Amino acid sequence: MRLKVLTLNVAHGAPFAVPLPFLRRRSALLGTLDAVAALLQREAADVVGLQEVDRASLFSGQVDQVDRIAARAGYPHVHHGVHSAVRRLFAQGTALLSHHPLEARDSAHFGRDRRVDKGYVVATLASGTDVVSLHLDPFSAPVRQRQADLIIHALRQRPERPRVLLGDFNAEDTVHDGPVARLCAALGLHTPPGAEPTWPQPRAHQRLDLILASASLRFTRYARLPEAVSDHHAVVAELTG
C-alpha cells in the first residue's frame, strides 16, 4: 500500500492582514482559497486534512470554503465536520478531502474543552486505513491533553486498523508529555523527528502541524511545503505499508 497525505490549516481563507474572511474583499478571499486549491492539485495527495475551513456563512464571507477548495483541487470525496456553528453566522471545522471513497465517517467537537472550531473528523479508506483531520486547542496544555484522550478513546472504539493523523496539534512534538507523545504512545503512532517548523508565517519557528502514522506504515517522504497560502505551512508525507 502506498499513500500520499497532506495537512494544512487554511485559517478560514483569511490568514494575513485582514484575519476575518467577511472583512476581506471577495476577490481576495477567493484568491486565497484558489491558491490553496492549486497547491493541493499540484501535490495530488490521496488524502488531504484541512483545519479552520468553513461552510457558507456570514463569517466565511458567504463562501463554502470546503466545496470551493475541493472542486478546484479535484477531490470528489469530502467529509467536513462542523465543530462550532450558529445558523447563518458561522459553520467552522475540519475536513478530509480524498481521491478515494471515505467510509465509516465520524465527526466530533471537544465539548466543554473546544475553543471555537476545535475537533476532528475520521473516515476509513478502501485500503483499510483510518485517516483523521484534527485541530487541538492553542491556549492550554491541559486542554490539549484532554482532547488527545478523547481522540484516543474514540479511535479505540473503531476496528483495529492502520491510522494516519493529520492536523494542527498546536504543540511541539518534542514535548515528551504533550498530546503528540500521548497519541503516539497510546495508539502506536510515529512521526519523523527533526522536521521543519510550520508556524507562524513568514518566519516559522514552531512545528505545530504534523502527520502521525501507525508503526506498520513507513514514511518514505516527509516535507514542509514553502508556499505561503496560509499562516501555516502545509506538510506532505508519503507512506508505504
Domains of the chain, start order: 2-240 (3.60.10.10)
Cβ neighbour number for residue 19 with a 10 Å cutoff: 12
Could you tell me what percent of the chain has a pLDDT over 70? 97
Please give the DSSP secondary-structure letter assigned to residue 99: S
- The sign of the CA dihedral 205, 170, 194, 233 is negative
Segment 158-205, tens digit of pLDDT: 999 999 999 999 998 877 889 999 999 999 999 998 889 999 877 778
User: Which is higher by pLDDT, 59 or 125?
Assistant: 125
Asked whether residue 51 carries a pLDDT value surpassing 80, the answer given is yes
pLDDT at residue 16, rounded to an integer: 76
Phi and psi angles of residue 135, each rounded to the nearest 5 degrees, phi first? -145, 120
> Amino acid letter at 193?
P
pLDDT at residue 115, rounded to an integer: 56
pLDDT at residue 19, rounded to an integer: 77
Segment 60-109, tens digit of pLDDT: 889 999 999 999 999 999 999 998 877 878 889 999 999 999 999 999 99
Cell triple for 28: 481576495
Indicate the pLDDT class of residue 131, thresholds 50, 70 and 90.
Answer: very high
pLDDT at residue 90, rounded to an integer: 80
Residues contacting residue 165 through CB under 8 Å, at least 6 positions apart: 132, 134, 151, 183, 189, 210, 211, 212, 213
pLDDT at residue 17, rounded to an integer: 66
Cell triple for 240: 508505504
- Among 64, 35, 91, 97, which residue's Cα sits nearest to residue 229? 35
pLDDT at residue 172, rounded to an integer: 83
Residues contacting residue 135 through CB under 8 Å, at least 6 positions apart: 9, 51, 52, 83, 94, 117, 118, 119, 120, 167, 168, 170
> What residues form DSSP beta bridges with 94?
81
For residues 55 and 228, what is the distance between their CA atoms, to the nearest angstrom?
22
| Integer angstrom CA distances of residue 47 from 14, 26, 185, 218 | 23, 28, 24, 16
pLDDT at residue 112, rounded to an integer: 65
Instruction: Return mean pLDDT, the chain.
Output: 93
Asked whether residue 228 carries a pLDDT value surpassing 90, the answer given is no
For residues 109 and 67, what is the distance between their CA atoms, to the nearest angstrom?
21
